Structure 1
Amino acid sequence: MSSTAPSSALRIRLMARAGVLSGPTANLAPGFVQANLAILPCDLAYDFLLFCQRNPKPCPLLGVAEAGATSISGLGDDLDIRTDVPRYRVWKKGVLVDELQDVTRIWREDFVTFAIGCSFSFEEALQRAGVPVRHIEEGLNVPMFRSSIATTPSGAFSGPLVVSMRPMIPEDAIKAVQITGRFPSVHGAPVHLGDPEAIGIKDIASPDYGDAVTIRPGEIPVFWACGVTPQAAIGRATPELSITHAPGHMLLTDMLNATLSIQRR
């Protein structure tokens, strides 16, 4: 990435690196692509790569690092995977054991890092089109739910599709389908609109990850595939040690959201 790239994404990374940013990254550094992370031992990397290829809606790959590398080519200058995410989750044998702001002390030379597209990137386009994004309005983390939709397995990796939800009036939901469909690298169009129970969500007011947001009269819930999906798959794969971002706490890259949009003819 050119050193002439705008610096706001780097500024957010440096804040995370310094430990002064520990919260969700929605609406930070507008214009820049945000990424989910999955960090796994190299003996599971091929299976996980296939899992991402077989499940492109929840796991659209933005980049993959070499084994042991602490940066990913093309995602940003002065980027350190070990420190530049506001909050990480640490997993042992598929069980969440810790949340950290810096994973340098547990880093291993056999770790392979996967950067996966994040729906925060298309929210800029929604807002620019006048479509409200409720969790940003309320200063909360986006609500996320484990659905009854199954992912396509690969080796040790399988599990439910995790979805993020944004409530909208039907008119805005139609706009959102059209807008986000132009961003397949960050989950693309919604996977479901309307009745949460149709995809196995019993209580829309109790998300599995993130925060509950207000759903106003006349609004419907709109669901997108979510990059937290690998965390459910990692839970089933039970690697000895793995690391992910904490839900809603993303890696800010130097890539521009505008470069991900596919223009329709």
Structure 2
Amino acid sequence: MIDTLPPLRAVLEAHGLTPKKSLGQNFLLDLNLTAKIARQAGDLSKCDVLEVGPGPGGLTRGLLAEGARKVLAIEKDSRAMGPLSEIQAAYPGRLEVLNADALDVDPLAHLTPPIRIVSNLPYNVGTELLVRWLTPPTWPPAWDSLTLMFQREVANRITAQPGSKAFGRLAILAQWRADARIVMELPPEAFTPPPKVHSAVVHLKALPEPRFPADAAKLQSIVATAFNQRRKMLRASLKGVRPDIEDVLTSVGIKPTDRPETIGLEAWCALARALDS
């Protein structure tokens, strides 16, 4: 046992809490697994932790048991407030709970650096939150690392290498400014209810500065434009960006006939700089 609180199945029964499909909820009830995910974030004893979508609080308990200085849990589902308040009572002064939509909250008002983000993200907002965390107005960001559960397909897209079908905008955004790797995989039967897909935990450690120089907005824009038509050659998908796009591509060593998933991160940054000049 990681603490003296009851098992999560008993918590769900006591509070009549069933997972809601509309909220993208799949509960992870094995406290050994939630503790293992918490450990993937490293030593938490000197960190504040942001958790989005705690549900009945399995991962929350893991984070607190692993010694997190403070956990800020943002949960949209008001039905989970009962279980979370019981965890608050067991860990006095170390858990703050906001009953809110994570897309509407500025968590930095509630946290003191160093900050780590550890979440079993609701499937329906996971990618949007990740993109927000990877694209703050200034870099380095407020967070040191992200340890996040996604559908395995999304995890593969974050960690993909050039030339693979999964390589695209998410890989470029993540790997430009962070070290990203898959640290755990979970089968559907680990969850209640079991989703139709496998899941994976991705750990992203923020780099002090991006791997290659580029204007963030220009890089995001050019990558989005190219991958929106990923089957087309770059000279076709980017022709609306500049009339002389073939010359610009050639000048940075990219063949105009290449397709976007074959271009590495360094070349994308070189193209963003050339288009910015």
Instruction: Say which structure is richer in strand.
Output: 1
**TM-score, length basis structure 2:** 0.24
What TM-score do the two structures reach when normalised by structure 1? Answer: 0.25
**Greater CA radius of gyration, 1 or 2?**
2
- Tell which has more relative contact order, 1 or 2 (C-alpha 8 A, sep 6+): 1
